């Protein structure tokens, strides 16, 4: 019973401020893990463990927590990107492949339209020519577009690969294990860099932004989809109530893991608001940095160009 | 009182013309973009001038009539050290966007006024195709850029002709011939893009774009009347502009549907309209006809746009 009451107190009190200050032996600066203060190394480890545990239930939890709205957010992100065939995308922290699959669908449909338009122009081809053009374009349904999914967590990548197989995505997709703070890619390689709901979990955001700048081609675009700061006070109250009362409970019921989802909600609180993130992106060297609030600021899409 | 109003209008027109120059001069100092790959490329391409001349430029007064896309160095301050490698000439974001749009124009006949054309243009400049994300996905900026370029070309053409007349090397044209030639010259610039121009017109009529497109249209008409030697300081000033706007718009719409060789039907239509305008000019019914011409122009525009929309939907 006492255990229950402890839990209830956590449920009804706003957990503001650090709960426990845990400084390890390493004399690193204190970082936040949710509302706790830990060293950098500990933070990386703890986050790795969080995602290792939730990997299998990640998609189910996303749907139940956001009532399916996360799909719309991700659709809006890809729509904003408006990729044309031939684009090389790097999706960082893209574990289960949501953005990657949407990208492939989008590019495929754009490519279809392109081919249709080309065929319409060539109205008086011989049958032989038409046959040849179909052959050529059948093996190029993506128009040379490619997406590389990079994640630091092996479990998330595993789930992603299984999903890809299950849904039938085979071409134009690669899976790479890597750390956003230190990407295993050459300079000036990618057209677009996206990080959806991942930058919150990166320990050194500035390093990740610098790496993003490095691997993008000149003219390349940086897109970041992340939970952000709600300025409207009424909505903010409702949102906080929902975050702290409902989400961890859902986490316990569906995934059997209260603490991971408590971490999730707390990390959203700790994440810098829109303007601050915009300044950080500009510091990394990006230009024309802008953000778009979705759902009153619950989620924001930041965009910047390497010019 | 009328003379004062006319004088004000003259001064206003001159201010209007110079605002483009002032705007360009203000942009370069705003953002110092150092050592970024794409923009350094601009300085590499234009490295023809030696270091000394560019630093000298810094001390001279900035050149008037600044053309952004021809001179990315611009009148901005130079930060040259001794043998300075780092960006002594940099360009602003606006100038880079200008260059991308100019490069995109050659892909318009194939891809239309779309983000794809802009992406192809960016590729020719060595940028990633994602740079098309700098602009709206419906191609508004591309079209507005093109219209503004055409207007600039027309101004230069008219200025050159005026100089020839002033030097006595050419005769001053009668007013109807002048207007006809000016409108024809301006419309001929559309010929390479004539297939996709209806799409462009419909985009220009989007509520978001109407302020800019109207702005460009009125300044072009102003230009033509100025070089035509319009000295009016009374109500005629407004009437003349409305009449010419009506003539221009209706001729443009006729040109969209013209399939005669060399667009001769369009030029004949133009000739007739200008002749009508001349005969109208001294009658009291001028005011009423002006209103009718403008209304007809708008109606024609609406009909053409809806036709373009339905034909596009059918496709």
The verdict on B289 and B164 lying in the same domain is yes
pLDDT at residue B9 greater than cutoff 70: no
How far does CA A188 lie from the centroid of its chain?
21
A261-274: pLDDT as tens digits:
888 888 888 899 99
The verdict on B235 and B106 lying in the same domain is no
Give the total number of structural domains in chain A: 1
* One-character DSSP codes across B208-225: TTHHHHHHHHHHHHHHHH
Task: Provide the residue range defining the domain that includes A83.
Answer: 68-228+271-306
Residue B87: phi and psi, rounded to 5, are 10, 80
CATH no. for residue A104?
3.40.50.150
Q: Among the residues of chain A, which ranges form H helices?
A: 2-12, 40-54, 58-65, 69-81, 98-121, 127-138, 154-167, 205-215, 233-241, 247-250, 258-270, 274-283
**Token duo for residue B27:** 């942009």
**Token duo for residue B13:** 């027109």
Residue B132 to residue A307, Cβ atoms within 8 A: no
Q: Is residue A199 one of the residues assigned to a domain?
A: yes
Cβ atoms of A281 and A222 closer than 8 Å: yes
CATH no. for residue B219?
1.10.357
| Nearest-angstrom CA–CA distance, B235 and B207 | 29
Give the residue with greater pLDDT, A33 vs B255: B255
The verdict on B165 and B192 lying in the same domain is yes
Q: Is residue A202 one of the residues assigned to a domain?
A: yes
Nearest-CA distance from A10 to chain B in Å? 45
The verdict on B101 and B182 lying in the same domain is no
Q: Is residue B24 one of the residues assigned to a domain?
A: no
Residue A305 to residue B131, Cβ atoms within 8 A: yes
Nearest-CA distance from B36 to chain A in Å? 6
Domain boundary, last residue among B137, B154, B169: B137
Q: Is residue B212 one of the residues assigned to a domain?
A: yes
Give the total number of structural domains in chain B: 2
3-state secondary structure A205-256: HHHHHHHHHHHEEEEEEEEEEEECCCCCHHHHHHHHHHHHHHHHHHHHHHHC
Check CB contact of B96 with chain A, cutoff 8 Å: yes
Residue A192 to residue B130, Cβ atoms within 8 A: yes
The verdict on B222 and B244 lying in the same domain is yes
Which pLDDT does position B62 carry in this prediction? 39
Choosing among B104, B128, B314, which should be mutated to test the A contact, i.e. which has the most A CBs within 10 A? Answer: B128
Residue A218 to residue B33, Cβ atoms within 8 A: no
Q: Is residue B52 one of the residues assigned to a domain?
A: no
Please tell me the total number of residues recorded for chain B in this structure.
315
Which pLDDT does position A38 carry in this prediction? 81
**Helix, strand, coil percent content, chain B, rounded in steps of 5:** 70, 0, 30
Q: Which residues of A touch B133 (CB under 8 A)?
A: 80-82, 221, 303, 305
The number of beta carbons lying within 10 Å of the beta carbon of residue A105 is 13
Residue A220 to residue B128, Cβ atoms within 8 A: yes
The verdict on B175 and B260 lying in the same domain is yes
Q: Is residue A19 one of the residues assigned to a domain?
A: no
The verdict on B262 and B132 lying in the same domain is no
pTM beyond 0.90, yes or no: no
Give the residue with greater pLDDT, A90 vs B18: A90
A232-254: pLDDT as tens digits:
999 999 999 988 888 888 888 88
Task: Provide the residue range defining the domain that includes B121.
Answer: 93-137
Q: Is residue B55 one of the residues assigned to a domain?
A: no
The verdict on B152 and B118 lying in the same domain is no
The verdict on B263 and B128 lying in the same domain is no
Give B164's contacts (C-beta < 8 A, 6+ positions apart).
B170
Residue of A nearest to B123 (CA): A219
Q: Is residue A247 one of the residues assigned to a domain?
A: no
The verdict on B178 and B156 lying in the same domain is yes
Residue B133 to residue A303, Cβ atoms within 8 A: yes
Check CB contact of A306 with chain B, cutoff 8 Å: yes
Give the nearest partner residue to A86 out of B33, B38, B129, using CB atoms.
Answer: B129
Q: Is residue B280 one of the residues assigned to a domain?
A: yes
Residue B129 to residue A218, Cβ atoms within 8 A: no
Q: Is residue A61 one of the residues assigned to a domain?
A: no
Give the residue with greater pLDDT, B87 vs B279: B279
Cβ atoms of A14 and A32 closer than 8 Å: no
A31-46: pLDDT as tens digits:
788 887 788 888 888 8
Cβ atoms of B194 and B256 closer than 8 Å: yes
Angle between helices B197-204 and B286-314 (to 10 degrees): 120
């Amino acid at each position: 019973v006492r255990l229950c009451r402890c839990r209830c107190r956590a449920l009804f009190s706003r957990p503001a401020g650090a709960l426990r200050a845990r400084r390890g032996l390493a004399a690193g600066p204190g970082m936040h893990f949710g509302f706790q203060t830990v060293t950098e190394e500990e933070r990386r480890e703890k986050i790795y463990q969080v995602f290792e545990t939730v990997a299998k239930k990640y998609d189910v939890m996303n749907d139940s927590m956001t009532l399916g709205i996360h799909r719309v957010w991700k659709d809006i992100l890809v729509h904003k990107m408006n990729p044309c065939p031939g684009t090389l995308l790097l999706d960082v922290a893209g574990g289960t492949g949501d953005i990657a699959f949407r990208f492939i669908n989008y590019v495929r449909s754009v490519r279809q339209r392109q081919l249709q338009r080309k065929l319409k122009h060539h109205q008086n081809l011989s049958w032989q020519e038409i046959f040849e053009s179909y052959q050529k374009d059948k093996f190029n349904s993506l128009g040379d577009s490619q997406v590389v999914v990079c994640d630091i967590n092996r479990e998330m990548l595993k789930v992603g690969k299984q999903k890809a197989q299950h849904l039938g995505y085979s071409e134009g997709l690669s899976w790479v294990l890597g750390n956003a703070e230190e990407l295993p890619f050459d300079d000036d390689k990618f057209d677009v860099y996206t990080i959806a709901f991942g930058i919150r979990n990166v320990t050194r955001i500035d390093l990740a932004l610098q790496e993003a700048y490095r691997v993008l081609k000149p003219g390349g675009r940086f897109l970041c989809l992340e939970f952000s700061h709600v300025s409207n006070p009424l909505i903010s109250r409702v949102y906080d109530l929902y975050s702290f009362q409902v989400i961890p409970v859902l986490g316990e019921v569906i995934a059997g893991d209260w603490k991971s989802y408590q971490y999730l909600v707390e990390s959203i609180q700790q994440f810098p608001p829109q303007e601050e993130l915009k300044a950080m992106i500009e510091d990394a060297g990006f230009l024309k940095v802008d953000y778009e609030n979705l759902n009153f600021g619950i989620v924001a899409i930041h965009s910047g160009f390497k010019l | 009182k009328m003379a004062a109003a006319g004088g004000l209008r003259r001064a206003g027109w001159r201010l209007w013309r110079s605002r483009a120059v002032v705007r360009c001069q203000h942009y370069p100092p705003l953002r110092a973009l150092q050592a970024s790959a794409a923009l350094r490329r601009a300085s590499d391409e234009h490295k023809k001038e030696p270091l000394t001349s560019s630093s000298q430029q810094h001390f001279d007064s900035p050149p008037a009539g600044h053309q952004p896309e021809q001179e990315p160095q611009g009148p901005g301050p130079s930060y040259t050290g001794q043998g300075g490698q780092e960006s002594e000439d940099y360009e602003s974001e606006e100038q880079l966007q200008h260059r991308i749009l100019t490069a995109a124009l050659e892909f318009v006949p194939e891809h239309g006024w779309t983000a794809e054309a802009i992406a192809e243009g960016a590729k020719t400049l060595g940028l990633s195709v994602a740079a098309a994300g700098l602009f709206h996905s419906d191609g508004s900026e591309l079209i507005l850029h093109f219209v503004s370029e055409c207007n600039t070309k027309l101004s230069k053409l008219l200025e050159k002709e005026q100089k020839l007349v002033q030097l006595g090397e050419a005769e001053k044209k009668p007013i109807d011939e002048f207007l006809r030639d000016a409108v024809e010259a301006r419309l001929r610039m559309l010929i390479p893009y004539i297939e996709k121009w209806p799409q462009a017109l419909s985009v220009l009529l989007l509520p978001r774009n109407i302020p800019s497109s109207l702005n460009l249209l009125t300044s072009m008409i102003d230009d033509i009347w100025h070089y035509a030697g319009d000295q009016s300081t009374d109500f005629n000033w407004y009437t003349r502009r409305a009449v010419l706007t009506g003539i221009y718009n209706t001729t443009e719409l006729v040109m969209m549907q013209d399939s005669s060789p060399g667009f001769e039907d369009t030029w004949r239509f133009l000739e007739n309209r200008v002749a009508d305008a001349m005969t109208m000019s001294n009658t009291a019914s001028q005011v009423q006809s002006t209103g009718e011409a403008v209304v007809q122009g708008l109606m024609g525009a609406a009909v053409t746009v809806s036709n373009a929309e339905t034909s596009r939907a059918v496709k």
